């Protein structure tokens, strides 16, 4: 799919941005702090995903303004879609989305319509950061493939918060421990779905990443992913979600509920999942070099693009924020070979650091405005 038109007004420091992107390469060039990443972020949020900078929606509105709007037109392999999104302070900072002229209830519908992948310097946190970063990556990637995952993830979050509040009340003698089993049934249903979803995605990404990484390392290194559930063994996850999977999850919660009540929080379940990433058999988080970490982040994102292609037979739009300057020529070539048929938006402070074959439209940005294509 490609973005054919974008209009951005009042989004962070951006104003009056109107572009007709190139179907292939789009270079967003400018000095530091001029609005390059903001431009990618404005396009990115049209996918329904949260900001890749993990900031709140109200921060999207220019500090000096009251309203932001982003409009994009995209073409997938079937038709054109028009997406309009706006956030106004007077409307309680809630996001208004209109898709092909029809007002939407939430951003969920966008997951199915506009698919994109962002490569950012923060991607290394997926490998180096807390287990939550890895869980978030898998959850977001799975949600882009299957929008109903968002509903399960939100529901699980809500139930887990209720469970933790209840545990505290039981601990303080303000609630009856018997209520816990009702909540545990609901936790088990959502938790079982999420465990299977994560296992399935990790299996896919493992297959693709290990091939990509072997090529990138000249055949010398081996990258593996392993889903560590504290509820299920791998053989449980080979089967589709069933009454039996709910039962296993439920019993595990109940078995450990004594300790949960003592501490007032839930220690068992998908909220404690870990995704182990290993290079040549050693955990990357502890052992990998800077270069290995960067390469791992890179192949994870490229694998995400390949999984999209397998699923929908259509390519996602690629955003490369400040990553090219960090990569040597071989790695740049490796990426561009894989994304050769996709529309790409690249930010850079230094146009000459890009590979000479990257030719397309150049959007120069200064103080939140375009200064000529
Ligand atoms: N809500 C907002 N209102 C107004 N300005 C904002 C808002 N949020 C961020 N900014 C400003 O936007 C500016 C540009 O940010 P952006 O991250 O897009 O820069 P950049 O061009 O990507 O720079 P770099 O090359 O350093 O990554 C920053 O100076 C920041 O203070
Ligand atoms: Mg930037």
Question: 172 and 281 share a domain?
Answer: yes
Task: List, in order, residues 6 or more apart from 259 with CB less than 8 Å away.
Answer: 267
pLDDT averaged over every residue in the chain: 93
Question: 202 and 300 share a domain?
Answer: yes
Distance 38 CA to ligand 1 centre (A): 6
Confidence of residue 163 (pLDDT cuts 50, 70, 90): very high
Distance 320 CA to ligand 1 centre (A): 16
Where is average pLDDT lowest: 5-19, 134-148, 253-267?
Answer: 134-148
Write down the pLDDT at residue 54. Answer: 67
- Ligand 1 pocket mutation pick from 33, 326, 371 by most atoms within 8 angstroms of CB: 33
Report which ligand 1 atom has the smallest distance to the Cα of 35.
Answer: 18
Portion of the chain with pLDDT greater than 90, in percent? 77
Ligand nearest to the CA of 39: 1
Which of 313, 335, 364 delimits the end of a domain?
Answer: 313
Q: Is residue 120 in some structural domain?
A: no
Question: 302 and 178 share a domain?
Answer: yes
Domain total in the chain? 2
Ligand 1: which residue has its CA nearest to atom 9?
12
36 lines ligand 1 (CB under 6 A): yes
Question: 102 and 233 share a domain?
Answer: no
Which of 296, 313, 330 delimits the end of a domain?
Answer: 313
- Ligand 1 pocket mutation pick from 14, 27, 38, 54 by most atoms within 8 angstroms of CB: 38
**What is the per-residue pLDDT across 1-28, written as a single tens digit (0 to 9) for each?**
999 999 999 999 999 999 999 999 999 9
Average pLDDT over residues 193-218: 95
Distance 334 CA to ligand 1 centre (A): 30
Write down the pLDDT at residue 226. Answer: 97
Q: Which one, of 266, 295, 263, lies nearest residue 280 by Cα?
A: 295
63 lines ligand 1 (CB under 6 A): yes
Ligand 1: which residue has its CA nearest to atom 28?
33
Q: Is residue 79 in some structural domain?
A: yes
Query: Residue 50 belongs to a domain with what CATH number?
Result: 3.40.50.300
Query: Residue 220 belongs to a domain with what CATH number?
Result: 1.20.1050.90
Answer whether residue 373 shows pLDDT above 60: no
Which of 313, 344, 361 delimits the end of a domain?
Answer: 313
The pTM (predicted TM-score) of the whole model is 0.90
Q: Which of 41-55, 101-115, 128-142, 346-360 has the highest mean pLDDT?
A: 128-142
b or e along 66-91 (b: 16 or more beta carbons within 10 Å of the residue's beta carbon)?
eebbbbbebbbeeeebebbbbbbeee
Answer whether residue 251 shows pLDDT above 80: yes
Write down the pLDDT at residue 30. Answer: 96
Answer whether residue 330 shows pLDDT above 90: no
Average pLDDT over residues 340-344: 92
Q: Is residue 335 in some structural domain?
A: yes
Question: 284 and 198 share a domain?
Answer: yes
Question: 56 and 187 share a domain?
Answer: no
Question: 302 and 335 share a domain?
Answer: no
| Full residue range of the structural domain in which residue 350 is found | 1-115+315-373
Alpha-carbon dihedral sign for residues 90, 94, 98, 103: negative
48 lines ligand 1 (CB under 6 A): no
Q: Which of 139-143, 228-232, 291-295, 333-337 has the highest mean pLDDT?
A: 228-232
Q: Is residue 332 in some structural domain?
A: yes
């Amino acid at each position: 799919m490609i973005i054919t038109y974008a209009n951005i007004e009042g989004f962070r420091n951006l104003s009056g941005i109107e572009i007709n992107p190139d179907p292939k390469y789009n270079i967003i060039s400018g000095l530091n702090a001029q609005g390059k990443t903001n431009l990618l972020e404005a396009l990115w949020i049209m996918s329904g995903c949260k900001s890749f900078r993990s900031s709140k929606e109200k921060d999207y509105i220019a500090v000096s303004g009251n309203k932001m709007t982003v409009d994009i037109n995209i073409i997938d392999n079937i038709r054109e879609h028009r997406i309009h999104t706006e956030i106004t302070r007077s409307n309680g900072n809630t996001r208004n989305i209109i898709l092909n002229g029809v007002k939407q209830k939430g951003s969920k519908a966008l997951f199915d319509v506009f698919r994109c992948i962002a490569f950012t310097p923060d991607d290394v946190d997926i490998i180096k950061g807390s287990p939550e970063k890895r869980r978030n990556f898998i959850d977001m990637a799975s949600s882009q493939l299957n929008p109903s995952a968002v509903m399960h993830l939100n529901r699980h979050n809500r139930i887990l918060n209720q469970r933790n509040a209840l545990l505290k009340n039981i601990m303080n003698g303000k609630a009856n421990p018997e209520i816990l089993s009702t909540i545990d049934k609901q936790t088990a249903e959502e938790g079982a779905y999420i465990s299977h979803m994560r296992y399935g995605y990790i299996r896919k990404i493992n297959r693709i990443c290990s091939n990509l990484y072997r090529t990138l390392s000249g055949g010398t290194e081996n990258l593996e992913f392993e889903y560590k559930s504290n509820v299920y063994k791998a053989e449980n996850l080979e089967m589709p979600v069933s009454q039996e999977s709910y039962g296993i999850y439920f019993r595990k919660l109940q078995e450990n509920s004594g300790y949960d009540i003592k501490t007032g929080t839930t220690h068992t379940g998908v909220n404690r999942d870990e995704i182990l990433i290993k290079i040549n058999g050693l955990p990357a988080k502890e052992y990998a070099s800077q270069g290995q970490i960067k390469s791992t982040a890179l192949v994870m994102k490229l694998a995400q693009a390949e999984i999209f292609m397998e699923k929908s037979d259509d390519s996602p739009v690629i955003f490369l924020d400040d990553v090219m300057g960090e990569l040597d020529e071989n790695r740049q070539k490796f990426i561009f070979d894989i994304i050769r048929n996709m529309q790409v938006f690249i930010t850079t402070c230094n146009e000459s650091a890009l590979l000479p074959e990257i030719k397309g439209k150049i959007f120069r940005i200064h103080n939140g405005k375009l200064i000529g294509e």
